[in-house]
Amino acid sequence: MRVLGIESSCDDTGVAIVEDGRKILGATVRSSSRIHEDFGGIVPELASREHVMAILPALHSVLTSANVPVDGVDVIAVTRGPGLLGSLLVGVTAAKALALALSRPLVGVHHLEAHLYANALVEPIIFPSVALLVSGGHTALYRWSGHGDLRLLGETVDDAAGEALDKGARTLGLGYPGGPAIESLARTVTRCDLSLPVPRLRRPIHPFDFSFSGLKTALVDLAKNHPHQVDELAFALEAAVVQALVEKTVQAALAEKVKRIYLAGGVSANLRLRQAMTEMAGAQEISVLVPRPQDSTDNGAMVAAAGYYAWQLGGRMSLDQAPKTPFSLG
C-alpha cells in the first residue's frame, strides 16, 4: 500500500511516498524559512506563495526519486490542519486534485497526529504509551492507546516550547528558527555559571500542563546582567526548557503506567532533550523512542504514515471538505 503524503501547514512543503506506513520510497521538504528569517518569524502570505511555487516541483521530484508512476500511488494523505490557512489550502488543493484525477481515496490528517507518526517510520508503535508533542506552535502530552486513540493529558497554557526557544533566540540575536541556533551554540559550552528557573505552573488547571511564557522575561533580565555571555544564555535557556519537558513527561508516563514514551515535533530534534528524556525515563525502566531528526520537523512522510493508519480505520476526506484550523486532537 503506497500512500502519498503532503504537508503544507506552515513554512515547509513536504511530499513523500511511504509504503505500508513504514518504508519511505521517496521524500522531499522545501522550506521557506530563509525568507522569513529577516522578519524574525513566519509571514503567512509569503509562506503560502512559496508553497504554490514548491508543490508541483516537490511532487514531481518525489515521484521520480521513488521511481513510482503517479498512478502507482494508492491513497493520497494531506495535512488538513491545524496551521496557517493559506498554507494548508495549497497542500489540500493539490491533494484533492490528485485524488480526483487518479480516482484514489483522500485522507485528511491532523498535523500533530502526523508528527507522532514520524515514530512509526522507525518501528511499529507500541501501545499504550505517552507521547510528547513539542513544536513551534504546540506543546502537548497525550496518552496514546491505539491507532486513532489519543487522549490529551496536558498542554501549554501559553507559549509552546519551540516558541520559547524561537523568542529566546530573537532576544539573543540568533535568528530564526531559534531551536537549532540555540542548540548549536549551547553545544559549545563546557561550563555554565548562568541558570534560568525551570518553568513550573504553581496552580495548573491540569497536572500535566506546561507554561513557557515566563522564560522570555527571565532571559531578558539575565541577558541584561550578562550581555556578553550569549553562549551561556543559550545553554541556560535550553536547559530550562528541556528540564520542564522531561519532568512532566516522565511523571505522566508513571501516572499512566506505561513503559514507552514517544517524542515528536520539531523540538524533538534537540539532542539534549533526547538524551535527558532517555536518561530520566530509563531510570524508571521506561523506554523512549524518537523520530529520525529529519522526520522530526515538518515533512510529508509523517503525513503519509499517519494517513496509512487513518485510511485503515476508514478515515476519508471528501472533496467539499476544507482545511480545518483550529483543529483539536484527543
Residues making contact with Zn ion (CB under 5 A) = 135, 298
26 vs 137, beta carbon nearer ligand KG4: 137
Does 177 contact ligand KG4 by CB under 6 A? yes
Alpha helix ranges (H) inside the chain: 33-37, 44-66, 85-102, 111-116, 161-171, 178-186, 213-225, 230-255, 271-282, 293-296, 300-312
DSSP state of 32: -
Three-state DSSP state, 9: coil
Near ligand KG4 by CB under 6 A, which window of 121-129, 131-139, 201-209, 322-330?
131-139
∠ CA 182-187-189, rounded to 5°? 105
One residue of 14, 26, 137, 291 binding ligand KG4 per CB under 6 A: 137
Residue 119 contacts residue 289 (beta carbons within 8 Å): yes
Smallest gap, in angstroms, from Cβ of residue 271 to ligand KG4?
7
> What gap in Å lies between CA 28 and CA 240, rounded to an integer?
33
Near ligand KG4 by CB under 6 A, which window of 40-48, 97-105, 174-182, 225-233?
174-182
Three-state DSSP state, 23: strand
Residue 209 contacts residue 155 (beta carbons within 8 Å): yes
27 vs 73, beta carbon nearer ligand KG4: 27
DSSP state of 210: B
Binding to ligand KG4, residues 234-273 (CB under 6 A): 265-267, 269-270
One residue of 7, 166, 231, 232 binding ligand KG4 per CB under 6 A: 166
Near ligand KG4 by CB under 6 A, which window of 39-47, 63-71, 85-93, 171-179?
171-179
Q: At what angle do helices 178-186 and 230-255 cross, to 10 degrees?
A: 110
Does 7 contact ligand KG4 by CB under 6 A? no
Determine the size of the site formed for ligand KG4 (CB under 6 A).
19
Smallest gap, in angstroms, from Cβ of residue 267 to ligand KG4?
4
Three-state DSSP state, 49: helix
10 vs 130, beta carbon nearer ligand KG4: 10
Partner interacting with residue 154 (select from ligand KG4, Zn ion, none; CB below 5-8 Å by kind): none
Task: Put the strands of the sheet holding 12-19 in their side by side order.
Answer: 23-31, 12-19, 2-7, 75-81, 106-110
155 vs 298, beta carbon nearer ligand KG4: 298
Three-state DSSP state, 65: helix
Q: Please report where in the chains the cell 530573537 appears, as a residue.
A: 170
Smallest gap, in angstroms, from Cβ of residue 133 to Zn ion?
9
Amino acid identity, position 10: C
Would you call the peptide bond into 326 cis, given omega within 30 degrees of 0 as the criterion? yes
Residue 14 contacts residue 303 (beta carbons within 8 Å): yes
Does 5 contact ligand KG4 by CB under 6 A? no
One residue of 27, 47, 107, 165 binding ligand KG4 per CB under 6 A: 165
Partner interacting with residue 108 (select from Zn ion, ligand KG4, none; CB below 5-8 Å by kind): none
Does 291 contact ligand KG4 by CB under 6 A? no
Residues near ligand KG4, by CB under 6 A = 10, 135-137, 162, 165-166, 177-180, 183, 265-267, 269-270, 297-298
